[in-house]
Structure 1
Amino acid sequence: MLKYDFIYNQLIQQIQTGTLLAGAKLPSIRNLSQQFSCSKSTVLTALKKLENQHLIYAIPKSGYFVVDHQLPHVPSANDFIDFATSSPTWHAFPYKDFQHCINKAIDTYQADLFRYGTPKGLPSLIVEAKKLLETYQIFTHEDNIFITSGVQQSLSLLSIMPFPNQRTTVLVEQPSYHLYMDYLKTYRLPVIGIKRTAQGIDLDELEQIFSTNTIKFFYTMPRFHNPLGCSYNKKEKDSILKLAVKYDVYIVEDDYLADFEQNSKRDSLFTEDLEERVIYLKSFSKIMFPGLRIGLAVLPPALISTFQQYKNTTDIDSSMISQAALELYLKSGMFNRYQLTVAEDYKQRANTLQHSLKKYLPMYKTATDNCMHSHIILPKQVNLKLLIQQLTQQHIFLDSIERNYLDGFYRERILKLNVSNMEEQKIDMGIKEIALALTNSNNYFS
C-alpha cells in the first residue's frame, strides 16, 4: 500500500468512527508528516483525496476540517411489500453522474449563484428544455417555456391568476393528483369534479359542465392518470380539445410520466392543440427525483405575461444550482442514457403488475395501460379501510384513495397500486396476498 493511501485510510477511519466529528479540525500538515514519518507532499496527497470525496474542506491559513463524519445511509433489506410509495427508487439513480453536474455547475455559474435569478428560469436550461420537449413531440418557442419549482408551483400560479376567459372555476378529474386536491381544498378555490374511470370520462357530462359553469381550466392527466394509471385514446383527446375551444375553456395537461411512454403513436393533448388552449406541464420528479424541484410549463402566448407577473411575486426563481446542474445533465447526454435505462426498468415492473393482476384478480375492474401504477375497483360491500389495515399488519403497504378526491365527491372503492419503488420480484407476491385476503376472509366486507 502506498504511504498516502495508508494515511488516507487512517484518517477516514477516524472520521467514520466519530473520532473526528463534523467540524473538527485535522492535525496540521506538519504534525501529520511527523506522525506518519513522511513528506508534507505525501500528506497533502492523502488530504486531497479526502477533499475530493467531500469528507474534509480547507480554510486558507487555518487548516483542514471535517465536513461530516456520518456514512451515507444504506437501506437494509426488508420484507415489506410497498404499493403505497410513489417516489422513484432512489438507489437506481446514478447520483454520481449528477454530482459531477452539480460540481461543474457551481464552477461554471459561480457569479449567477449570487444573483436573484432570472424571471423565466436559467436561459441555457430553457434551451435544453426545448430540445427535450421536442422528443415528446412538444414543439414550442423558448419564450413560451418557464422553469418552475416543480409542477406544484405551476398549478398554484395557474389556480390563482386571472385568465383571458374571465372564469374562476377549476374542473378536475375525480380521483386526481392528491397534492393538487389538497391545495384546492386548503385555499377553498371554486372547483368542480368530473368522474374518471379506466374507461375515460363522460364527454356529454363534460360538455354540460363546460356549457353551464364558469370553467377557467380543466386539469387533466391524459397519459397514465394518477392514481388510476389509464390514458385517453385519440378520439377522447380530440373531443376534449373541441369542447374546450367551443366553450372557451383552457386545459392544463399534467404529463408527468411522458418519459415512460412506450407507444410512439400516443401523443400529448398539446401536440394536437391548434387553438392554443393547452397549458403543458412536465415534471422531473418521477424520472429523476422529487428533491430536484424543477418543472417545466409551456404556456399559450395569451397567458405568458400574467403568469410571469404572478411567478415574480411568489418566487424569485427556482434553485439556480438545480437548474444549472439539470442543464448540464441534459446537455451532456447523461439524462438520455438514464432515461432509456429507467424506462425499461419501469416497463418490466409494469408488465409484472399487469400480469399479476390478470393472474390473481381477473374478476376486478382495473386499468389495462402498461403503467407502473394501477388500481382495482372493489365491490361496494368491501370495507376498504379495514382491508388496508389488515394488509399493513402483513407488511403489505397500501395507500388510501381519500386524498385523491374533493370533499363531498362520491368515492369509488379503489385500491391504488404503485410499483415505482418496489423490487420486481415482490410485485407478484404482493398481488397474490391481496387476492388471498379478498378471497379467504369475510372480515373486509360490511
Structure 2
Amino acid sequence: MLKYESICEGLMNQIQTGGLHSGAKLPSIRNLSQHFSCSKSTILTALKRLEDQHLIYAIPKSGYYVVDHQMPHKPSPTDFIDFSTSSPTWHAFPYKDFLHCINKAIDTYQEDLFRYGTPSGLPSLITEAQKLLETYQVFTHADNIFVTPGVQQALSLLSIMPFPNNRKTILVEQPGYHLYMDFLKTYQLQAVGIKRTTDGIDLDELEQIFRQGDIKFFYSMPRFHNPLGTSYSKKEKESILQLANEYAVYIVEDDYLADFEQNTKLDPLFANDVHERVIYLKSFSKIMFPGLRIGLAILPNALKNNFQQYKNTTDIDSSMISQAALELYLKSGMFERYRVQVSEAYTTRAKILQQSLKTHLPMYETPSAISMHSHIVLPKQVDMNSLIHHLAQQHILLDTIDRNYLDGFYRERILKLNVSNVEEHKIEAGIKEIAIALSSVRNYFI
C-alpha cells in the first residue's frame, strides 16, 4: 500500500468511527505531515482522495472539514423474495456515471442555479428529450414538451384543469395505477372505471361509456399495464383512438415502461394520433430512479396554455440540477448504453417469470406478455389475505390489489407479481412456493 493510501485509510477510519465528526476540522497539513512522517505533497494527495469521495471539503485559508461520516451503503443479502416492490433495482444503477453528470451540471449551469427555472423545463433538456421521444415513435414539437416533477404532477394537473370538451368525469382502467387511484379518491374527483383483464377491455363498453358519460379523458397504460403486465394489441389501440375522436374524448397515455419494449413494431397510441387527442406521459422512475423526480408530458396544442397556467401555480420548475444532469446523461450517450443494459436484464427476468408461471401454475390464468409485471387470477374460494400472510412467513412478499381499484368497483381476485427487485435465480423458487401454497388451498378457504 502506498503511503498516501495508508494515510487516506487512517483518516477515513477516524471519520467513520466518529473520531472526526461531521463539521470537524482536520489537523493542519503541517501537523498531518509531522504525524505521519511524510511530505506535505503526500498529505495533499491523501486529502484529495478523501475530497473526491465527498468525505471532506476545503475552505481556502482555513483548512479541511468533514462533510459526513456515512459511507455508501452496499446491498446486504436477504432471504426474502419480494414480488411486491415495483421500484427499480437500485444497486444496479451506474451512480458514478450519473455523478459525473451532476458535477458537470453544477459547473456548467452555475449561474442558472441561482435563478428560477423556465416554465416548461430546461430548454437544453427539452431538446434532448425530443430526440429521446423519437426513439419511442413520439414525434412532437419542442413547444409541446413539458418537464414535470415526475408523472404524478402531470396527472394531478390534468385531472383538475379544464379541458376543451368541458367535461369533468375521468375514465380509468380497473385495476389501475394505485397512486392515481389514491389521488382520485383523496380529492374526490368524478371518476368511473372500465374493467381491464388479460384480454384487454370491452370496446363496446368503452363506446357506451364515451357516448353516455361526461368523459373528460380516459387514463390508460396501453403498454405493460400496472399491475396486470398486459399490453393492448395494435387493433385495440386503433379502435380506442377512433372512439376517442368520434366522441371528443382525450386519452392520457402513461407509457412509463416504454424503455423495456422488445417489439419495435408496437408503437404507442400517440404515434397514430392524427386528431391531437392523446396526451403522452413518460417517466424516468423505472429506467433510472424515482428520486430523480423528472417526467415528460407531451400536450396537444389545445391544452398547452391551460396546462402551463396550472403548472405555474404548483411549482416554478422541476429541480434545475436534476434537469441539467439528465440532459448531460442523455446527450453523452450514457442513458442509451444504460437503457440497453437494464432493458436486457429486466427482459431476462420477465422471461424467467413467464416460464416459471407456465411450469408451476399452468392451471391459472396468467398473461402471455413478457413483462416485469404479471398476475394470477385466483379462484373465489381462496382467502387472499391468508395466502399472502402464509407466504410472508415463507419469506415470499406479495401485496393485495385493493389500492388499484376505485371505491365500489368490483375487485377481481388477482395476485399481482413484480420481479423488478427479485434476483434472477430466486424468481422460479418464489413462484414454486406460491404454487405449493395454492396446491394446499384448503388452508385458505373463506
Normalising by structure 2, we get a TM-score of 0.99
Aligned to 1:318: 318
Aligned to 1:333: 333
Q: Work out whether 1:356 is the aligned partner of 2:394.
A: no
| 8 A contact 2:378–2:413 mirrored in 1 | yes
Task: Give the superposition deviation at 1:307.
Answer: 0.4
Letter in 1 for 2:287: I
Alignment of 1:194-205 (within 5 A): 194-205=194-205
Question: What is the DSSP-based 3-state SS (H/G/I as helix, E as strand, rest coil) of the residue aligned with 2:421?
Answer: coil
Q: How many residue pairs end up in the alignment?
A: 446
Aligned to 2:111: 111
Alignment of 1:28-427 (within 5 A): 28-427=28-427
Residues 357-380 of structure 1 deviation map (CA, whole Å, 9 limit, x = unaligned): 000111111111000110010011
Letter in 1 for 2:430: G
**d(CA) in 1 for partners of 2:387 and 2:227?**
19
Task: Give the superposition deviation at 1:297.
Answer: 0.4
Question: What is the DSSP-based 3-state SS (H/G/I as helix, E as strand, rest coil) of the residue aligned with 1:366?
Answer: coil
**d(CA) in 1 for partners of 2:441 and 2:192?**
38
Residues 238-272 of structure 1 deviation map (CA, whole Å, 9 limit, x = unaligned): 11001100110000000000000001110000001
Residues 92-123 of structure 1 deviation map (CA, whole Å, 9 limit, x = unaligned): 11111001101111111111111111100000
Letter in 2 for 1:357: L
Question: What is the DSSP-based 3-state SS (H/G/I as helix, E as strand, rest coil) of the residue aligned with 1:57?
Answer: strand
Task: Give the superposition deviation at 1:23.
Answer: 1.4
- Unaligned 5+ segments in structure 2 are none
Question: What is the DSSP-based 3-state SS (H/G/I as helix, E as strand, rest coil) of the residue aligned with 1:416?
Answer: strand
Residues 314-373 of structure 1 deviation map (CA, whole Å, 9 limit, x = unaligned): 011101110000000000000000000010001110000000000011111111100011
Give the ranges of 4+ consecutive aligned residues of structure 1 lying more than 4 Å apart after TM superposition: none
Question: What is the DSSP-based 3-state SS (H/G/I as helix, E as strand, rest coil) of the residue aligned with 1:76?
Answer: coil
Task: Give the superposition deviation at 1:4.
Answer: 2.2
CA RMSD, 1 decimal = 0.9
Task: Give the superposition deviation at 1:71.
Answer: 2.0
Change (3 A) 1:113 1:418: same
Letter in 2 for 1:251: I
Name the stretch that deviates more: 11-20 or 126-135: 11-20
Letter in 2 for 1:187: Y
Letter in 1 for 2:381: Q
Aligned to 1:5: 5
Question: What is the DSSP-based 3-state SS (H/G/I as helix, E as strand, rest coil) of the residue aligned with 2:442?
Answer: coil
Normalising by structure 1, we get a TM-score of 0.99
**d(CA) in 1 for partners of 2:36 and 2:82?**
50
Task: Give the superposition deviation at 1:73.
Answer: 1.7
- Unaligned 5+ segments in structure 1 are none
* Percent identity (aligned): 76
**d(CA) in 1 for partners of 2:287 and 2:155?**
20
**d(CA) in 2 for partners of 1:2 and 1:407?**
66
Residues 70-95 of structure 1 deviation map (CA, whole Å, 9 limit, x = unaligned): 22222221110110010010111111
**d(CA) in 2 for partners of 1:427 and 1:42?**
50
Aligned to 2:428: 428
Residues 213-254 of structure 1 deviation map (CA, whole Å, 9 limit, x = unaligned): 110000000000000000000111111001100110000000
Question: What is the DSSP-based 3-state SS (H/G/I as helix, E as strand, rest coil) of the residue aligned with 2:200?
Answer: coil
Residues 130-180 of structure 1 deviation map (CA, whole Å, 9 limit, x = unaligned): 000000010000000000000000000000000000001100000000000
Residues 409-431 of structure 1 deviation map (CA, whole Å, 9 limit, x = unaligned): 00000000000111011110011
Task: Give the superposition deviation at 1:41.
Answer: 2.4
Letter in 2 for 1:81: I
| 8 A contact 2:376–2:416 mirrored in 1 | yes
**d(CA) in 2 for partners of 1:386 and 1:440?**
12
| 8 A contact 2:382–2:441 mirrored in 1 | no
Residues 269-290 of structure 1 deviation map (CA, whole Å, 9 limit, x = unaligned): 0001000000000000000011
**d(CA) in 2 for partners of 1:427 and 1:292?**
28
Residues 23-82 of structure 1 deviation map (CA, whole Å, 9 limit, x = unaligned): 111111121122122332222221111111111001122211111112222222111011
| 8 A contact 2:75–2:91 mirrored in 1 | no
**d(CA) in 1 for partners of 2:5 and 2:383?**
62
Letter in 2 for 1:118: T
Letter in 2 for 1:433: E
**d(CA) in 2 for partners of 1:408 and 1:2?**
69
**d(CA) in 2 for partners of 1:373 and 1:28?**
56
Question: What is the DSSP-based 3-state SS (H/G/I as helix, E as strand, rest coil) of the residue aligned with 2:201?
Answer: coil
